[in-house]
Amino acid sequence: MQLSHIANNPLAKKPVIYGIEGHFLTQQEQDFFRQNGCLGFILFSRNIASKTQVKQLTQQIKQLMQGEVLILIDQEGGRVTRLTSPEWPQFPSGSYFANLYQQNQSLALHAIRQNFAEIGNELKQLGINTNCAPVLDILHKSTHHIIGNRAYGSDPLQVANLGLSACEGLLDAGIMPVIKHIPGHGRANADSHLELPVVDAELSDLINTDFVPFMQLKQQKFAMTAHVLYSKIDADKCTTISSKAIQIIRQTIGFDNILITDDLSMKALKNNVANNALDALQAGCDIVLHCNGNLDEMQQINAVLPTISNQLKNKLT
């Protein structure tokens, strides 16, 4: 995928990725996206019925948007799988590769690269160009089951090594990976879809553990934030809307590429979606993500968003 094609798309007007309501764009959605523009879309189970239908949907999106846009999906394998059987093959969860790594490191690295190359090939056939994977969160005793067996283990270098091979597999297939959830969701003992997790670990401990995989993979093009409050970094705001936390991502971790928020409509964020979008961009995120397909909320977000910056256009080239 040529990201420069997205940067040069005349409808890449706003730094936002939206979810949509159903199997095809409604007329209202088409009118909204044509008039206001965006950088891309993310697909969920509600958008997926069959291979033929998904291909038609991605073609409809590209035709409407006058060319290449980001089309994302969460296809990790295991329980975070949008493309399900029997229409698509099933792929193992992160814990499978974590266990294999303990037995044979080289075999595990080869297997996960091949696994994600196969996932990537499935996505490419559908017209999807970006996968929100791999998960680089470290497994801790306190890790909430929302991460759980999605993780590649409790050893930071193991997670980094497996995560890098997963990225390489996706890139082999021409699919852009999105590493997540930066700077780490593993210590959180709550589900950020439902509430705001708070992590009280010292910054030095985070640097030596949870941050390591993200440091090792800081050259990847995309990363997705964790809606987690790290009290020793910012006692008031979660990462996505915290300039202090994003400064840590940019400087301590060293990730200076494209930072995408996790879903703005998750309950970890307390404000309305428009304020969340503004707060995230002001804190230093590059792109905001809104997943639920609610057109009223999309209109609220669009009303407050600036046009795409030259800085972001440069990152996309």
Average pLDDT over the chain, rounded to an integer: 96
pLDDT at site 2: 81
Our measurement of the distance from residue 202's CA atom to the centroid of its chain's CA atoms, rounded to an integer in Å, reads: 26
pLDDT at site 266: 87
Domain range spanning residue 161? Answer: 3-315
d(CA 261, CA 248): 15
Structure tokens that stand for 251 in this block: 């400087």
> What residue spans of the chain are helical by DSSP H?
3-7, 27-36, 51-64, 94-103, 105-126, 156-172, 203-208, 212-216, 243-247, 273-283, 295-304, 310-315
Contact 73, 132 (CB under 8 A): yes
User: Which residues of the chain fall short of a pLDDT of 70?
Assistant: none
Q: What are phi and psi of 268, to 5 degrees?
A: -65, -25
Q: What are phi and psi of 246, to 5 degrees?
A: -70, -30
Question: How many domains are contained in the chain?
Answer: 1
262 tagged catalytic: yes
pLDDT at site 268: 84
pLDDT at site 100: 98
Contact 264, 289 (CB under 8 A): yes
Contact 154, 109 (CB under 8 A): no
Alpha carbon of 18 to those of 21, 33, 83, 170, 281: distances in Å? Answer: 10, 10, 19, 22, 16
CB atoms within 10 A of CB 91: 17
pLDDT at site 271: 82
d(CA 221, CA 209): 22
Contact 51, 65 (CB under 8 A): no
pLDDT at site 48: 98
Catalytic residue among 155, 234, 262, 286: 262
Contact 169, 111 (CB under 8 A): no
The string of pLDDT tens digits covering residues 260-312 is 999 999 888 988 999 999 999 999 999 999 999 999 999 999 999 999 999 99
* Sign, Cα dihedral of 287, 292, 293, 298: negative
Catalytic residue among 31, 145, 193, 200: 193
pLDDT at site 1: 75
pLDDT at site 46: 98
What CATH code is carried by the domain that includes residue 185? 3.20.20.300
